């Protein structure tokens, strides 16, 4: 259809054409999405049941021993990974050094 043809058509016919095109696009996009999801599952190695249950295999990380300890509450420790704990950030803001909180490891 040419642009000139569309301008001459009544609104009702244009609306029907719009709905037909919209339905076709939706159908094709759903087919493409399903195909891509199937390919991703094949690459990921998960079964379809696992995909629908939301289960994902999480990478196993080795246990990391703590490197810093709060002297005021010895149960509060930090491995040095991730965001600094509040107790350590507060101590550092007050002027203490991070070395003051290091745990002495005996070998």
How far apart, in whole angstroms, are the C-alpha atoms of residue 8 and residue 66? Answer: 76
Identify the weakest region by mean pLDDT among 3-7, 16-20, 30-34, 96-100: 3-7
Spatial contact of 72 and 102, defined as CB atoms under 8 Å apart: no
Full-prediction pTM beyond 0.75?
A: no
What integer best gives the mean pLDDT of the chain?
86
> 102 forms bridges with which residues in the sheet?
68
Predicted local confidence at residue 91, as pLDDT: 94
| Domain ranges within the chain, ordered by starting residue | 3-53, 68-101
Mean pLDDT for the stretch of residues 23-39: 94
Q: Record the tokens describing residue 65, joined without a space.
A: 């021993």
Which alpha helices (DSSP H) does 54-93 contain, by range?
86-93
Tens of pLDDT, residue by residue over 35-82, are 999 898 888 776 656 656 666 677 888 899 999 999 999 999 999 999
How far apart, in whole angstroms, are the C-alpha atoms of residue 88 and residue 47? Answer: 44
């Amino acid at each position: 259809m040419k642009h000139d043809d569309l301008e001459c058509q009544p609104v009702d016919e244009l609306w029907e054409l719009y709905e037909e095109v919209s339905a076709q696009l939706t159908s094709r996009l759903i087919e493409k999405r399903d195909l891509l999801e199937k390919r991703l599952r094949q690459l990921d190695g998960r079964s379809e049941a696992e995909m629908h249950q939301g289960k994902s295999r999480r990478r196993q990380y080795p246990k990391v021993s703590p490197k810093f300890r709060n002297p005021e509450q010895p149960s509060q420790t930090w491995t040095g990974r991730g965001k600094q704990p509040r107790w350590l950030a507060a101590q550092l803001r007050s002027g203490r050094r991070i070395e003051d909180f290091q745990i002495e490891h005996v070998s």
